[in-house]
Amino acid sequence: MTSNARERLSQLGFQLVGEWTLRHEKLVIPSGHDLLQAQGGVLYAFLDEDTLLYIGKSKNHLAMRLQRYRTPGKSLGSTNTELELAIRRRLLQGRRIFILAFQRTDTALYPGYVLDHAAGLEDSLIKQFSPPLNGKQRRGG
């Protein structure tokens, strides 16, 4: 996504919930925004300044999902580990990594099935903008 990523995401309903910071070289999760405690169906984005890096969705509280990036475990090659390293590397270079989030609380039905707004929007945004830390782009493919 081009340099107007934050503006484009804001037009879709994304809100700034905070930014990643470091304390003793460990990622620190922001606090205080209601969307961090929103339950399920939350779509989130990481931006390096105004460049879209990653889009993901959380089925649980967003703060719980962000915690997995903060402490990803030992599994090399996992999304959590790769994103933690990429975010930390950028922060150590003096970059600012913003976290935006989106949640629709209305329900859409398709002949008796509840549609997941976050999943549909995530797939569309990844396909359209190819954030470098999503999927094949993250692995250099």
Q: pTM for this structure?
A: 0.86
Q: Look-up: residue for tokens 């804001």? A: 10
Cβ-Cβ contacts under 8 Å for 2 (sequence gap 6 or more):
none
pLDDT at res. 98:
96
Q: How far apart are CA 141 and CA 137, in angstroms?
A: 5
Residue ranges of the chain with per-residue pLDDT less than 50: 1-3, 137-141
Q: Among candidates 61, 82, 80, which has minimal Cα distance to 137? A: 82
Q: Output the pLDDT for position 109.
A: 80
Residue 78 is predicted with a pLDDT of 82
pLDDT at 1: 39
The CATH number assigned to the domain holding 119 equals: 3.40.1440.40
Residue range(s) defining the domain that contains residue 34: 5-138
Give me the pLDDT at residue 77, please: 60
Tens of pLDDT, residue by residue over 88-126, are: 999 999 999 999 999 877 777 888 888 777 778 898 999
**Alpha-carbon span 6 to 14, nearest angstrom:** 8
Q: How many domains does the chain have?
A: 1
- Partners of 97 in the beta sheet? 20, 48
Does residue 133 contact residue 46 with C-beta atoms inside 8 Å?
A: yes
